[in-house]
Amino acid sequence: MINVGEILSNLWEQSGFASLFAGFTGDGWQNLVMIIIGCALLYLAIVKKFEPLLLCGIAFGCILSNLPGAGLYNQGLWDSYVNGTPYLVTGEAGEVIRTIEHIHFTDIIHYGGLLDIFYIGVKSSLYPCLIFMGVGAMTDFGPLLSNPKSLLLGAAAQLGVFAAFFGAVLLGFTGPEAASIGIIGGADGPTAIFLTSQLASNLLGPIAVAAYSYMALIPLIQPPFMKMLTTKEQRKIKMVQTRNVSKTEKIIFPILVTVFVALLLPDTAPLIGCLMFGNLMKETGATDRLSDTMQNSLMNTVTILLSTAVGATMTGANFLNVQTLSIVALGVVAFILSTVGGLLGGLVMCKLTRGKVNPLIGSAGVSAVPMAARVSNTVGQKYNPSNFLLMHAMGPNVAGVIGSAIAAGFLLSVFG
């Protein structure tokens, strides 16, 4: 006669609940805490609308990878892949069946879970590059072309990247880790994920969460510093309309930038190449179908895969430590200093042009297209309702995207 009690007992032991409540002596509590954090992130995404398109996926990926026994994401596989150490394949009873000396993507497809397979796209830099392609197809570089000096504001606003890098080294992070933390200041999610997956994939979860959370908080983070660093009169400055840019210029620009930046810093070629390829498809007027795919279906598909894969890296062991708190703190410092850098650049330009440039457009140099430009416009209109800074702020805003890609390229060439 079958032993019903034993069957039920086995069922319980194999269930995730048993692992979850294995007692606070094991790792069960970490999974539980991470599931709660995942739910909190879902709340922020759905109710508070914090970058919901990405945060929803990140939060759900976090919940999925912390379900004990589901095996959707295996940190051990990726540790072996990154460190080049052997991976031990174990059987149901925990016995070692096979030792893989060097893990390759094919092994991950064979032995990994669903989220491991998703994560291959992050580790190979495929998703961040495809996202950049979509961003390029959605970006109008016209304001930048009509006012090329705004590129300087895009450069000035990378101050936070390097200040946070320095701060992270002071806090004891290794060089590659500090570089990955610093790039949060670029306010550019795909660039942060691209660089971190190359240099410090163990920090990918906290860095992605910090980057996207702070990007969503830009309307709260930036205005106090914009008011602190500028005078009322400066905020009221009306900027003159810039020249019209021809279609040919817009077509030549992406080709020119790709060749120029990739020659200057070859490590930026994947990001800048994809960004500018997407932009070229938009501007040609002959490839509308491709541009439409990049902007919508491709972008949406990759966003789903990227966000869940990044969320999957938020395992208890990776996330629940002092490092995460440091990253969250350094992230906000990076954002603030990037805003300050851009504003200081704006103030210098205001002085040099004898009040023709509104310094508020400087804060838009922190990528985060188009949110940061909108903030410049909103703050400007508060002091002069007939002042429309949006198009002027879009120049530094898209310059910030190129600036953060160059910063990432520099850090990758040093630490990669």
Partner 1 sequence: MDLITLAPPPTEAVNALENLGVGDAGILALLGYAVVFFGLILLMAVVIALGAVFAAKAKKAAKAAAPVEAAPAVQAAPAPTAPGSAGNMKLYNVEPKTAAMIMAIVADKMGKPLNELRFISIKEVE
Q: Does 352 bind partner 1 (CB under 8 A)?
A: no
Residues 331, 164: contact at Cβ < 8 Å?
Answer: yes
The residues pairing with 87 across neighbouring beta strands, listed in sequence order, are 100
From the list 63-71, 107-115, 175-183, 350-358, the region that binds partner 1 by CB under 8 A is 175-183
CA 11 to chain centre: 41
Residues 27, 316: contact at Cβ < 8 Å?
Answer: yes
Query: What separation in angstroms does the CA of 240 have from each of 153, 297, 355, 356, 369?
Result: 18, 38, 11, 8, 22
Largest separation between any pair of C-alpha atoms in the chain: 94
Q: Does 24 bind partner 1 (CB under 8 A)?
A: no
Q: How far is the CB of 215 from partner 1 (least distance, A)?
A: 20
Torsion (CA) 4, 7, 12, 13 in degrees, nearest 10: 140
Residues 123-162 as x/- pattern, contact with partner 1 by CB under 8 A: -------------------x-xxx-xx-xx-xxx-xx-xx
Q: Which of 33, 169, 333, 344 binds partner 1 (CB under 8 A)?
A: 169
Count each helix (H run) and each strand (E run) in the chain, helices first.
24, 2
Question: Given the complex with partner 1, which of 165 and 194 has the nearer CB atom?
Answer: 165
Query: How many Å apart are CA 282 and CA 310, to the nearest integer?
Result: 28
Query: How many Å apart are CA 343 and CA 361, to the nearest integer?
Result: 7
ω into 219 cis (within 30 of 0)? no
Please list the helix, strand and coil fractions of the chain in percent, rounded to the nearest 5, in that order.
Answer: 75, 0, 25
Q: Does 94 bind partner 1 (CB under 8 A)?
A: no
Question: Given the complex with partner 1, which of 159 and 210 has the nearer CB atom?
Answer: 159
Query: How many Å apart are CA 117 and CA 371, to the nearest integer?
Result: 32
Q: What DSSP element (H or E) covers 98? A: strand 96-100
Residues with Cβ within 8 Å of 57's Cβ and at least 6 positions away in sequence, in order, are 303, 304, 306, 307, 308, 310, 311
Q: How far is the CB of 347 from partner 1 (least distance, A)?
A: 16
Q: Does 78 bind partner 1 (CB under 8 A)?
A: no
Residues 264-303 as x/- pattern, contact with partner 1 by CB under 8 A: xx--------------------------------------
Q: Of 192-251, which residues contact partner 1 (CB under 8 A)?
A: 241, 243-246, 248-249
Q: How far is the CB of 404 from partner 1 (least distance, A)?
A: 9
The residues pairing with 89 across neighbouring beta strands, listed in sequence order, are 98
Question: Given the complex with partner 1, which of 74 and 338 has the nearer CB atom?
Answer: 338
The residues pairing with 90 across neighbouring beta strands, listed in sequence order, are 96
Q: Does 174 bind partner 1 (CB under 8 A)?
A: yes
Q: Which of 57, 176, 206, 316 binds partner 1 (CB under 8 A)?
A: 176
Q: How far is the CB of 148 from partner 1 (least distance, A)?
A: 4
Q: Which of 18, 22, 217, 252 binds partner 1 (CB under 8 A)?
A: 252
Query: How many Å apart are CA 361 and CA 374, to the nearest integer?
Result: 10
Q: Which of 103, 391, 398, 401 binds partner 1 (CB under 8 A)?
A: 391
From the list 58-66, 260-268, 297-305, 306-314, the region that binds partner 1 by CB under 8 A is 260-268
Q: How far is the CB of 249 from partner 1 (least distance, A)?
A: 5
CA 101 to chain centre: 32
Q: What DSSP element (H or E) covers 99? A: strand 96-100
Q: How far is the CB of 196 from partner 1 (least distance, A)?
A: 16
- Which has the closest alpha carbon to 183: 375, 199, 171, 114? 199
Size of the residue set binding partner 1 (CB under 8 A): 56
Q: Does 175 bind partner 1 (CB under 8 A)?
A: yes
Q: How far is the CB of 341 from partner 1 (least distance, A)?
A: 9
Torsion (CA) 294, 296, 299, 303 in degrees, nearest 10: -170
Q: How far is the CB of 129 from partner 1 (least distance, A)?
A: 19
Q: How far is the CB of 73 from partner 1 (least distance, A)?
A: 23
Q: Which of 165, 212, 214, 319 binds partner 1 (CB under 8 A)?
A: 165
The residues pairing with 150 across neighbouring beta strands, listed in sequence order, are none
Question: Given the complex with partner 1, which of 134 and 186 has the nearer CB atom?
Answer: 186
Q: Applying CB under 8 A, which residues contact partner 1?
A: 83-86, 88, 99, 101, 142, 144-146, 148-149, 151-152, 154-156, 158-159, 161-163, 165-166, 169-170, 174-176, 178, 241, 243-246, 248-249, 252-253, 256-257, 260-261, 264-265, 391, 399, 402-403, 406-407, 410-411, 414-415
